[in-house]
Amino acid sequence: MLIIEDLQVKIGNKKVLKHVNLEIQPGETQILFGPNGSGKTSLLMTIMGYPQYKITGGRILFKGEDITHMTIDERARLGVGMSYQRPPSIQGLKTRRMVQVCGNGHIDVDTLAEKMNFTEFLERDINVGFSGGEIKRSELLQLMAQDAELSLFDEPESGVDLENISLIGNTINTLLQRVNGTQYDKTTKRIARERTKMGLIITHTGLILDYVTADKGLVLYNGTVAGRGNPVEIFKQIKKAGYKECARCAA
Amino acid sequence: MRGLDDMAYKAKDKKAAIGPDIDLDSYSLKSATHADVKNLGTIPEEDRERMTLAGLDASEKERAGTYIQRDATAVHSGSNIDGLEIIPIRKALKEIDWIRDYYWKLASVDTDKYTARVRLDLQDGYVIRALPGKKVTLPAQACLYLEKEGFNQNVHNIIIAEEESELHVISGCASASHVTRGLHAGVSEFYVKKDAKLSFTMIHHWAEDVVVRPRSVGIVEKGGLFLSNYISMKPVKSVQTYPTTYLVGKGAVARSYSLLVGSPGSELDVGGRIYLQAKDTRAEIVSRAITNGGNIISRGDIIGEVPGAKGHLECHGLILNGGIMQAIPELKGMVDGVELSHEAAVGKIAQEEILYLMSRGLTEEEATATIVRGFLSVDIPGLPAPLKAEIDRAVELSQKDVM
Ligand SMILES: Nc1ncnc2c1ncn2[C@@H]1O[C@H](COP(=O)(O)OP(=O)(O)O)[C@@H](O)[C@H]1O
Ligand SMILES: [Mg+2]
């Protein structure tokens, strides 16, 4: 379980998160909405543990441990993983090696890459010259290898072409032990009961909602949670009335 | 040859154009002579280990032949393959008449005191030659080994890839573990003939107070390819080298790659100069340097003298734990229609990259090591697998010093 209590975060002198509260139960996936600059990326980066996001108040608990002051790698080893919107590229570091690192040496890189339709990129330097969509596939491949308990996705569908969007959607489902809403049946229910993986997904376009059935949605507005509810309903509202209205009505 | 001796004599105190000046007289020219080594397995294990660090494969399993020099003595010299010749240069000078067409034909004895020294006090060195049309895909190996404390080793090497041949050489230089101080001066002359391919990989594994002054010149004829790699990742007091290559035939290509690590107290001044003197010639000079408290100067110079010649220079430097990193790229186009470019960057490891790797579960140290390894692993095209493996191994070994 992830518990965020009264989290306050600054970048430099700017307050980017103000009194954020959030709980993600084992097996639960939530969607994070919010206009540009509302603090969505900041929230994910703070959960992951990036030092430039200074926690000035509140705390973060994960699996019963207070991780507020843990380093990034400690959190990663505890089971937090992230798919970045714009990860850095690293010259000379082969994607294959990066995926091995994520899997801590225990995975079959080729089989995983095949699933992600990413085999031809394995011998290329990580993220060097990758297109927007390729970066997303590379990030998800790394997360698959990492097999995190809590996966954070920063706009996983942005820049992805229509051909690959379902691949992205289905991979997120696999990572979060979910099945596409259209295939709902008895086994699905069983899977849902036994599911432990947690997810927090930022979406800007809402496209991911067509593939991933999430349990909850929340709207971040100006650094605070302005509303919570059914993700599909929230997205409808946002489309209809815009964020400003939606933040007001949901609150 | 009297004339050359006179010239050398006149240049015996001539300072080098660049690099700290060295007092040659503070090193000894006397060493014990070493006995022949018939079987490489009989080299004492301690020495064999040091040689192995500079790329020597004592089993010769993946080598086409071997030359080993201990201090002043050539102790082993032999080829395992038809069409590949490996001969100590002193023997060649006595017994082979064609050697005079190559000996001191590219390098000048009066370049500086180090070339003069090699001329006047030649100890030995190797001649490695692939006969016309012979494709020798396994590397030939040479090891120049410094065993006597305070010794001045002077060698002269000649490497010839005859027409349409292929030759790969791995030349390792190392000092015995008890040696702290020494001076290695080496002259190398490279001849890449029509449509031939030569790769030459030099791996240095010296000691903290060893001074190294290689002086190399190469010539590449029509359709020839000359790949030259230099790897120095271990502590050394001072290396200064600026090999020059002339591309004189249509379509000749030269590529040079250096991987350098400068430890505290080390001073590496390493460059490469390539003259593009014929149509469709191509040059590439790539260097990756990490200073870990040392002082590194990475130079490169490409001179385009004919239309259609192309060259690219790339110096990337990383400052890891202090030290000085200087990139000095130079380009000179002398006519219309040459295309020369360069790319130089000096910096530190981006924090963002370290954090990215940490979020995949690596500690900060592991993340840094992974990035450093990536930085040093340039793809060098055209090298046979055993050579690639040696370079990878050298990079791997350097990690311990860098971290
Ligand atoms: N490195 C930074 N320095 C200063 N301000 C930043 C930095 N990164 C983000 N911000 C600011 O923090 C706020 C939240 O940004 P972010 O979390 O990226 O929003 P979102 O992901 O919702 O678009 C924005 O006002 C943004 O300009
Ligand atoms: Mg964002």
A39-54 tens-digit pLDDT: 999 999 999 999 999 9
Classify residue A162: in a domain, yes or no: yes
Chain A residue numbers with beta carbons less than 8 Å from the beta carbon of B356 are 84, 87-88, 90
Chain A residue numbers with beta carbons less than 8 Å from the beta carbon of B358 are 71-73, 76
Classify residue A132: in a domain, yes or no: no
Classify residue A107: in a domain, yes or no: no
Classify residue A74: in a domain, yes or no: yes
Whole-number average pLDDT of chain A: 92
Q: Could you tell me where the DSSP H helices lie in B25-73? A: 45-53
CB contact under 8 A, A93 and B371: yes
Q: Which residues contact B201 (CB under 8 A, 6 or more apart)?
A: B55, B139, B168, B169, B170, B171, B228, B229, B230, B231, B383, B387, B390, B391
Chain B residue numbers with beta carbons less than 8 Å from the beta carbon of A90 are 353, 356-357, 371, 374
pLDDT at B155: 98
Minimum-distance ligand to the CA of A224? 1
Q: How confident is the model at residue A163 (pLDDT cuts 50, 70, 90)?
A: confident
CB contact under 8 A, A73 and B362: yes
Nearest beta carbon to residue B360 from set A51, A94, A146: A146
User: Which of B63, B65, B31, B71 is CA-nearest to residue B47?
Assistant: B71
CB contact under 8 A, A51 and B356: no
Range of the domain at A70: 2-88+148-250
pLDDT at B209: 95
- The residue of chain B nearest to residue A89, with distances taken between CA atoms, is B353
Total count of domains within chain A: 1
The alpha-carbon gap from B310 to the nearest alpha carbon of chain A, in Å, equals 24
Q: Could you tell me where the DSSP H helices lie in A49-124? A: 72-78, 95-102, 109-115
Classify residue A141: in a domain, yes or no: no
* Under 8 Å between Cβ of A33 and A71: no
Q: How confident is the model at residue A249 (pLDDT cuts 50, 70, 90)?
A: low
* Beta-sheet pairing, A80-83 with A29-33: unpaired
pLDDT at A180: 67
CB contact under 8 A, B376 and A84: no
Assess whether pLDDT exceeds 60 at residue A230: yes
Q: What is the ipTM of this complex?
A: 0.95
pLDDT at B68: 98
Minimum-distance ligand to the CA of A45? 1
In chain B, count H helices and then E strands: 7, 21
pLDDT at A105: 81
At position A164, the amino acid (one-letter code) is N
Cα A46 to middle of ligand 1, angstroms: 12
pLDDT in tens, chain B (403 residues): 679 999 999 999 999 999 999 999 999 999 888 999 999 999 999 999 999 999 999 999 999 999 999 999 999 999 999 999 999 999 999 999 999 999 999 999 999 999 999 999 999 999 999 999 999 999 999 999 999 999 999 999 999 999 999 999 999 999 999 999 999 999 999 999 999 999 999 999 999 999 999 999 999 999 999 999 999 999 999 999 999 999 999 999 999 999 999 999 999 999 999 999 999 999 999 999 999 899 999 999 999 999 999 999 999 999 988 899 999 999 999 999 999 999 999 999 999 999 999 999 999 999 999 999 999 988 888 788 888 888 888 888 776 666 5
pLDDT at B332: 97
At position A149, the amino acid (one-letter code) is E
Classify residue A125: in a domain, yes or no: no
Assess whether pLDDT exceeds 60 at residue A181: no
Assess whether pLDDT exceeds 70 at residue A123: yes
pLDDT at B255: 97
Pick among A44, A93, A149 to test the B interface (most B CBs inside 10 A): A93
Q: Using CB atoms and an 8 Å cut-off, which of residues 355-394 of chain B contact chain A?
A: 355-364, 367, 370-371, 373-378
Classify residue A176: in a domain, yes or no: yes
Chain A residue numbers with beta carbons less than 8 Å from the beta carbon of B377 are 92
- A-to-B residue pairs, Cβ atoms closer than 8 angstroms: 63
Pick among A48, A73, A126 to test the B interface (most B CBs inside 10 A): A73
Classify residue A106: in a domain, yes or no: no
Residue nearest (by alpha carbon) to ligand 1 atom 26: A37
* CATH code for the domain in which residue A26 is found: 3.40.50.300
Instruction: Give CA–CA dist B18/B101, Å, rounded.
Output: 29
A61-70 tens-digit pLDDT: 999 999 999 9
pLDDT at B378: 84
Residue nearest (by alpha carbon) to ligand 1 atom 16: A39
